[in-house]
Amino acid sequence: MPKQGFSRREFLSLIGAAGGAALLAACQPVATSTDGDEMEAAMEPVTVSVQSGWQTSGDGDVWTPCIELFDEKGTHISIEMIRLHVSPEDTMTAVAGGTAPDVYHRYIGGFAELMARGVMLPLDDLIANAPDFDPDIYLGSQWDNGKWDGVTYGIPALEGGSMPAICWHKHLIEEVGGDPEVGPRSWPEMLEWSRMLLQYDDDGNLTQAGFDPKDAYGFTVIAWPVVFDENYISEDKRTFTFDTEAWAEGLDLIAQFWTDPGVDKMQAFVDQWNYWSGYPSSGFNNAKRAMVMDGNWLPGMLRNMVEVTGVELESIGYNFHPNLNEGNKAIDFGTGHTLFMPRTTQVAEDALTFIIHMTSVEVNLLEFEIRAACMWSKPILDAIDLSSVPGLQWFFDAPLEADRLWSPNEFLTPVQSQCENLWNRAFEEVTVGVKSAEDALFDINKELQQSLDEYWETQS
């Protein structure tokens, strides 16, 4: 007859085994998994490709430590970094051909037309569903950096803030009778000092220059509305306004910084002592240029080059750049770098996870350590130590003192690359003397207006 139930011995053995198992289980480390982590573990691995040509190698490589930090988070996402210059034309062909990466990193100026033409993915819905991200962390108009016509196409990351300022070598300004603590207060004064600062060698080659309007910030057309106190496009983005008196006066004035020494001599000087303050051969960092119009990255760049160039950080002065509307203190508050997704990406949510990581305090602290520059958001500004970088404090005080803060959105046009090209053309035409400033600006305005009209025609 089969036995029914447990014997007392069997029962006690079972209880003992169960108790032992419970004890062993209690000795296990406490499991910390949350629902999110379990979901994360269950997700398929995804690769997000990111393309940037900025700060991608050597001591200034920002991306490698940021990606390592992201990998430490242990998500299902791995980052494939494409360290290659990003240009609007390459982006256009890559997106049209379906070979674009998932994330582009670019200075905003070159991507305006890509946003306006729907090449980039609108992000508002994705952002609304991202609980870990709050656009309100950005200061002032920084958030406008990735917007076109009210739609968000890009998330500001890595570099933003206030720019440009006029920066000068105090000892050189003193040499020409200027106040080394105040710097130039008007454009005529700056032009006069610049003339006095020109130096040549025995062969007639330029060895020292005062100021060059095509410098680290002035190379872009975006710099000049702030300086001339007049925009080049109407608020509704339908009319170009290069053909105004302010622009003609401004172009005429800044062209003289090239015509005074001679275009060929200035070009030879630029070939030798380049503009970008991140290079060891930068004219300003080596005190070959007395004044430069630059952004908030300059103090950090100078700090990193003390050993190479021998520049003394305390010997540099900072102030609002002279304005055509004399006495006006204006800055561009926020035109900087942005992360975009092309509309062809298949991993938008995962790419957004990485983008949000790039806006985090940890990433920006890393960048600040490397370059003493970062995106200006509230939590980041609370975390960084400005006192470690002489001169940087000025840029943080400037928005509070300024009469006019320009938003990145004010400059952008749907034909931005053409706008940049034609502005450079007008500058060249005036400096080599083939056209007057009025004629050059009239011609580029006409050509740009035609392109702008075509754009709006396709929108209707």
Partner 1 sequence: MTSPLLSAPQPGLGPAEDPRLPNRLARGRSFRRRMLPFLFLLPWFVGVLTFQAYPILDSFYHSFTIYDVFQPAKWIGVRNYVNLAEHDYTRKALMNTLLYVVVSVPGGLVVGLLQALLLNVKIRGLQLFRTLAIVPGTVPVAGAAAVFLFIWSPSLGLINSFLKALGLPWQQAWLTSPVMVKWVFIVMAIQGGIGMLIFLAGLQNVPQELYDAAKIDGAKSIQTLFKVTLPMLTPYTLFNLLTSLIGAFQMFSGPMLMTGGGPAGGSMFYPQLIYENAFRNFRMGHAAALSWILFVICVVIVVLLFRTSASWVYYEGGN
Residues that bind partner 1 (CB under 8 A): 88-89, 92-93, 95-96, 113, 117-119, 203, 205, 262-265, 267-268, 271-272, 415, 417-418, 421, 424-425, 428-429, 431-432, 434-435, 443, 447, 450-451, 454-455, 457-458
Separation of alpha carbons 221 and 124, rounded Å: 29
Q: Quick one: 192 or 447, whose CB is closer to partner 1?
A: 447
Closest distance of CB 120 from partner 1, Å? 10
Closest distance of CB 272 from partner 1, Å? 8
Q: Which residue in the block uniquely carries the two structure tokens 């943080």?
A: 396
Q: Quick one: 13 or 272, whose CB is closer to partner 1?
A: 272
Closest distance of CB 438 from partner 1, Å? 15
In this structure, the dihedral spanned by the alpha carbons of residues 98, 104, 106 and 108, taken in order and rounded to 10 degrees, is 80
Separation of alpha carbons 398 and 164, rounded Å: 10
Separation of alpha carbons 342 and 319, rounded Å: 38
Identify the H or E element spanning 156.
strand 154-156
Separation of alpha carbons 382 and 421, rounded Å: 39
Closest distance of CB 165 from partner 1, Å? 29
Q: Quick one: 154 or 160, whose CB is closer to partner 1?
A: 154
Separation of alpha carbons 49 and 158, rounded Å: 17
DSSP class of residue 253 equals: H
Q: Quick one: 234 or 272, whose CB is closer to partner 1?
A: 272
Q: Quick one: 83 or 425, whose CB is closer to partner 1?
A: 425
Q: Quick one: 22 or 434, whose CB is closer to partner 1?
A: 434
Closest distance of CB 260 from partner 1, Å? 15
Closest distance of CB 295 from partner 1, Å? 24
Residue type, 458: T
Separation of alpha carbons 113 and 405, rounded Å: 23
Bridge partners (DSSP) of residue 240 are 233
Beta strands 154-156; 337-340: pairing state: antiparallel
Bridge partners (DSSP) of residue 50 are 81, 103
Q: Quick one: 219 or 396, whose CB is closer to partner 1?
A: 219
Residue type, 148: W
Bridge partners (DSSP) of residue 156 are 338
Q: Quick one: 64 or 344, whose CB is closer to partner 1?
A: 344
Closest distance of CB 432 from partner 1, Å? 5
Q: Is 395 helix (H, G, I), strand (E, B) or coil?
A: helix
Closest distance of CB 417 from partner 1, Å? 5
